[in-house]
Structure 1
Amino acid sequence: MVFAIFLTAAIIVIFAAIQLNKYGDVINQKSTWNGAMVGTFLIGGATSLPELTTSLTAVYIDNPDIAVGNMLGSNVFNILILMAFDFIYRQRKVFNQIEVSSHLPIANTGFAMTGLLVVAILWDHSPSFLSVGGEMYLLIFIYLIVMKKLDGEEEEVEQTSSLSLKQGIFRFTLAALTVFIAGSVLTITGDMIAQQTGMNASFVGSFLIAASTSLPELVTVLAAFQMMKYSLAIGSILGSNIFNLQLLVVTDIFYREASILNASSTSNLTTALLGLAMMALTIYILLRPSVKRMITYALPSAATIILYFIASYVMF
C-alpha cells in the first residue's frame, strides 16, 4: 500500500512539475523578469517545497539527521541532475549558450553558504542564539545581500503563449500547491519505505529522501532542456539550492532542542563536502572560456557525476 501511494504521488509530482515549468515560461514571457530570475526565484522556490515539508516532519519526529541530510542531499542531487543533463546534451554545449553573469552570483552564493555549513559542522558546539545556530543568521544575511544586488535586467523573449501574465501566475500557483501536497506525500511515504530497510538516518536523508524530494527539479530541468530554455533550467537548480539552505534556517528555528547542526551527527559532513566540491565544479564550468571540443566540454560534468556516486558508495 505504501509503495502504491509513493508511486501515485511521484506521478502527480511529475505532472505538476511539468506545469510549473510551462507556466514559469509564461511568466518569463509576459513579465520583466528574465529566465535566470524566473528560474531562481519562482521555479527554484516552488520546487523546494517538498524539502521543507520533509525536514519539518523530521523535526517533529526528533530526527535532526534526516532534516539536515535532506537539505544538503537535495542540493547535491540537484547539481547531479543539472550535470547529468549537461552531459547527455553535451553536443549542444549548454553552458556556452547562457549569460553567465545572470547565474554566477547565485552559484557563488551557494558555494559560500555550503562552505559556511561545512565550518559549522566541523566546529563542535558552534555558537547559537535562541537555540538557532549562528551560521543560520549568516545564511540569511548572505542571502539578503546577494538577492538585493541581483540584476533583473530584461531580455528579449519570444512571445509564444496566448495566456496573460495573471493567468500564468494563477496556474503557476496551482502547480506549486500541487507539488507541495504531492511532494509531501512522496517524502513521507519514502521515509516509511526507507525505515523498513534499516539504513542509517544520514544516508536516508542525504540520498534516498533527497532524491525523492528532488523529483520536481528533475522534471523541471528535463522540460526546460527539451524547450531549449537553458537559462531557466540552470537558474531553477542554483536557485533551488540557495532556497533549500534558507529552508534549513526555518528547520533550525522549529527545532527547539538545540542548534540543529549541533544536534545532528558529523556524518552529514560528507554530504556537505560533496556539495562544496560539486558547486566548485559548477562555478568552474560557468567561468571557463567557451569550449569547442565536445570531450573537453563534457569532462567537468562527467567528473561531477562520478564524484557523486563515489561519495554515495562511501556513505552507504
Structure 2
Amino acid sequence: MIDTLSLPVTFGLFGGAGLLIALLGVRMADLADRLGDRTGLGEALIGGILLGLATSLSGVVVSVTAAVDGRPSLAFANAVGGIAAQTAFLAIADLLFRRANMEHAAAEIASVVQAAVLTFMLALPMLAATGPDFTLWGVHPVSVVLVVVYVLGMRTTARVREDPMWHPVTTRETRHDTPDESPDSGGGPWPLLAQFLVLALLLGVSGWVISKTGGRLADELGISETAIGALLTAVATSLPELITTLAAVRRGALQLAIGGIIGGNIFDVLFLSASDIAYRDGSLYHAVGGGDLFWVALGAAMTAVLLLGLVVRERRGIAGIGFESVAMLGLYGLAIGVQAVR
C-alpha cells in the first residue's frame, strides 16, 4: 500500500512515525529508571537490557522488513548506522551535562563490561563478511554466535555488577545510582512493566512504517540504500535513544543514559542475526558492500573510544566534556562527510 502513495505523503508518514518514536522515548526513560529501582537491578543493567531492547524494537522491525523485501544493504546499514548515531548521542548528552564529563560522573563497571562486549560483537560481522560465504539452512554461523555472545555477555555483566573485582574511584563529581523508589512502591514492578511493553509495541509498529517509507524514498529519490539506512532510517529509529538519553541525564540517571545507549547498540548488532534469518537469498554479510562494512568499522571505533573514556574518566576536557566525546563527534562527522561524497 505504501508503494502506491505519493512522495509528499510518504515523507509525511516517515516524519510522523519518527515523531511518535521520539515522544514514546520520553515516557520510557522514566519507566526504565523506576523499574531499575523497584527491581533492584540498577540503572546500568536495566538501561542495557530492558531500555536497550525496547528502544531498539523499531530498528529491528526496519532491518527485518528490509531483509524480507530483498533489500540487504538497507537492512544492514540501518542496524550498524544506528550504532554510530546512538554513540554520538552520548557526546551530545555530555555537552548538556555541565557538572563534569559524563563518563567520569557515571562510573559503573556494568557499562565498561557492556562496551567491551559490544566491541567484540562488532568485530564478528566483519569477520563473517570477509570470510567464506557459508550458510547453514540459509543462515550464516556468525548470526548464531552473535546471540550466544550476547547472552553470555549479559550474564557476565550481571555477575560483575553483583561481585565486582574492582571499583571506580569516587570523586566529588561521581554520581551514584541511588534508588528513588522501594521495590514495593506502587504494587511492585509489574504495573510499570505492563506500561513499558505497550509503549514497546507502539515502537515496533512505528518501525515498520519507517522501513516501508524509507525503502520507497530510496527508490524514488535515487539515493543508495546504504545512505538511506545509515543516515535516515537509522537516525529516525534511534530517536528513542536520543530522547531517553537526554531525559535520563536531566533526571540525573547517568548510568541509565550510558547503559541505555550501549545496550541499544548491542541489540542493534543482533538486528543482523534477525535480518540474516529473514534474508532468504544467502548470507546477508556477503550481500552487502564495502560502504555497509564501513559503518560497522565506524561503530567499533566509536565504541572503543567510549570504552577508553569510561576507564580513563577524564574530569573535564575541551568545552567541558571528555576527550572521548570530542573524538566520537569527530568520527561521526567525518563518516557523514565520507558518505556524502560516495
TM bracket (short chain): over 0.9
**What is aligned with 2:171?**
none
Aligned counterpart, 1:14: 22
**Are the aligned partners of 2:87 and 2:302 in contact in 1 as well (CA < 8 Å)?**
yes
Aligned partners of 2:43 and 2:259 also within 8 Å: yes
Residue identity opposite 2:146 in structure 1 = L
Cα deviation for residue 93 of structure 1 reads 1.9
The equivalent of 1:5 in structure 2 is 13
Equivalent position of 2:290 in the other structure: 266
Which amino acid is 1:38 matched to? I
1:33-69: per-residue Cα shift (whole Å, max 9, x none)?
1101110111100011111111111112211111111
TM-superposed deviation, 1:293? 5.0
- Structure 2 distance, partners of 1:89, 1:82, is 10
| Alignment check: 8 A CA contact 2:100 2:320 kept | no
Match of 1:163 among 168, 186, 193: 186
Question: 194-203 vs 295-304, which deviates more?
Answer: 295-304
**Which residue, 85, 92, 108 being the options, matches 2:100?**
92
- Structure 1: give runs of 5+ residues left out of the alignment: none
> Following the alignment from structure 1 to structure 2, what is the Cα–Cα distance between the partners of residues 222 and 295?
18
User: In the TM superposition, what is the alpha-carbon distance from 1:282 to its structure 2 partner?
Assistant: 0.5
Within 1, Cα distance between the matches of 2:18 and 2:319? 35
Q: Distance in 2 between matches of 1:174 and 1:300?
A: 36
1:233: which partner in 2? 257
Structure 1 residues 195-204 or 158-167, which shifts more? 158-167
Aligned alpha-carbon RMSD (Å): 2.1
**Superposed CA offset, 1:126-165 (max 9, x none):** 4332221222222122112212222254964122996332
Q: Look up the equivalent residue of 1:12 and give its one-letter code.
A: L
| Alignment TM-score, normalising by the size of structure 1 | 0.92
For the residue of structure 2 that corresponds to 1:248, the secondary structure is: helix
Higher mean displacement: 151-160 or 190-199:
151-160
* Counterpart for residue 209 of structure 1: 233
Between the aligned partners of 1:24 and 1:66, the Cα distance in structure 2 is: 30
Letter in 1 for 2:145: L
Structure 2 letter corresponding to 1:149: T
Change (3 A) 1:206 1:10: closer
Matched with 1:56 is 64
The letter of the residue matching 1:8 is: G
Q: 1:18 to 1:280 in 2, by over 3 A?
A: same
Question: In the alignment, which of 116, 122, 128 is matched to residue 114 of structure 1?
Answer: 122
Residue 42 of structure 2 corresponds to 34
Equivalent position amino acid for 1:163 in 2: G
How far apart are the structure 2 equivalents of 1:289 and 1:235?
16
SS at structure 2 position matched to 1:132? coil
Task: For residue 219 of structure 2, give the secondary structure of its aligned residue in structure 1.
Answer: helix
User: 1:294: how far off?
Assistant: 5.7
Give the secondary-structure state (helix, strand or coil) at the position aligned to 1:238.
Answer: helix
Q: Is the 8 A contact 1:54 1:67 kept in 2?
A: yes
Mean CA deviation greater in 200-209 or 178-187? 178-187
Structure 1 segments (4+ residues) deviating >3 Å: 152-156, 160-164, 292-297
Secondary structure at the aligned position of 2:243 is classed as helix
Change in Cα spacing, 1:292 to 1:311, as seen in structure 2 (3 Å) is closer
**What is the TM-score when the length of structure 2 is the normalising length?**
0.86
